[in-house]
Structure 1
Amino acid sequence: MILGVVSDTHNRVDHIKKIVNIFNSNGVDYVIHTGDITQAKSLEQFSLLKAKLLGVFGNNDLEEEGLEAVCIKHGFEFQLPPLVINLDKKKIAIFHEPEAIEGFMHKEDNLDLILHGHTHRYRLEEINEVKIFNPGECAGSLKGKNAVGIVNLEDMEIKRIFF
């Protein structure tokens, strides 16, 4: 099973269109957004995904009613963090802000992967056999550094695709 991971799109509709094309052309099964979509018009762009979209809301996702309406319309699954899911026999926790991760790891067993956003910075590390991944930003603040992630759950290979 292949996951697409995206974070901090911050209303960049032009970037979201590129992201959707990347994920569709890479045959991802699920796309996980780690927060800061910001407005309903941005979330609406993900309706062209071939994969199922799920994720968490971030600190800049203040247009709650509009975002929730788009989720209902397209069957997207979003909630406040953390979101814990099981896919392909892997236990995955999804956060927006990374500050809560360490405490969460002490009380949650059998995690394989933690995804987060918020920092707009790439992160890939392993702590106690749990991979922690943030693909970095997609909002364009760091020109030329926009990236999404692809995670192969079978072998836990993680790569970034720049756009």
Structure 2
Amino acid sequence: MRVLIVSDTHRKDENLYKIMKEEGPFDMLIHLGDVEGSEDKIAGWAGEDCQVHMVLGNNDFFSDLDREKEINIGKYRVLLTHGHYYNVSLGVERLELEARERNLDIVMYGHTHRPFYEVHNGVIILNPGSLSYPRQEGRKPSYMIMEIDDEGEGRFMLNFCGG
């Protein structure tokens, strides 16, 4: 199983389209917020055979997306959130606490526009960064791909557009 994880496209969708065409097909697409009205377009690009999960970002005004979602990816219980309700700009401690209280394996968030991957007390916490307005050093648009192998184990790869 291949899962494309993105966030913070802010209606500047060219990089996402390019990745989906060049690296697809994917079994699942996860968008962690700040879609800004491109929900239907992105779901159309994903195609009928791809599950699509999107959550509400702080710039998704007038959207009916869920504030957060709990989903299963293989054996993993996963929380999808934009992160702004958990003050992720100050750290991921609240995300870890939330995951442990809900018995979740993975938390995926956006909002900071910076890629992040750490394991905190057995909880995988990750952020794919932003495909449109990256803020990390070097400012390369980024995304993640999660692959589930035949034994059910997940592996995460951070990728950059154009590199």
TM superposition score category, shorter chain reference: 0.7 to 0.9
Contact 2:4 2:146 in 1 (8 A): yes
* CA–CA distance in structure 1, aligned partners of residues 125 and 100 of structure 2: 14
* CA–CA distance in structure 1, aligned partners of residues 57 and 33 of structure 2: 4
* CA–CA distance in structure 2, aligned partners of residues 44 and 55 of structure 1: 11
Structure 1: tracts of 5 or more residues without a match: 69-77
Q: 1:31 corresponds to which residue?
A: 29
Q: Pick from 91, 99, 104: which aligns with 2:77?
A: 91
Alignment RMSD (CA, Å): 1.9
* CA–CA distance in structure 2, aligned partners of residues 114 and 22 of structure 1: 27
* CA–CA distance in structure 1, aligned partners of residues 73 and 134 of structure 2: 32
Q: Report the residue type matching 2:110 in the other structure.
A: G
Structure 1 residue matching 2:8: 3-state secondary structure: coil
Structure 2: tracts of 5 or more residues without a match: 88-93
Q: Report the residue type matching 1:129 in the other structure.
A: G
* CA–CA distance in structure 1, aligned partners of residues 13 and 147 of structure 2: 26
* Aligned-residue offset at 1:52: 1.7
Contact 2:8 2:133 in 1 (8 A): no
Closer/same/farther in 2, CA of residues 139 and 84 from structure 1, 3 Å limit: same
Closer/same/farther in 2, CA of residues 62 and 23 from structure 1, 3 Å limit: farther
Q: 2:133 corresponds to which residue?
A: 140
Runs of 4+ in 1 over 6 A off after TM superposition: none
Q: Report the residue type matching 1:140 in the other structure.
A: Y
- Count residues in correspondence: 145
Greater share of helix residues, 1 or 2?
1
Q: Pick from 73, 95, 108: which aligns with 1:101?
A: 95
* Aligned-residue offset at 1:85: 0.9
Q: 1:60 corresponds to which residue?
A: 59
Q: Pick from 20, 38, 46: which aligns with 1:49?
A: 46
Contact 2:119 2:125 in 1 (8 A): yes
Q: 2:14 corresponds to which residue?
A: 14
Tell me the TM-score normalized by structure 2: 0.79
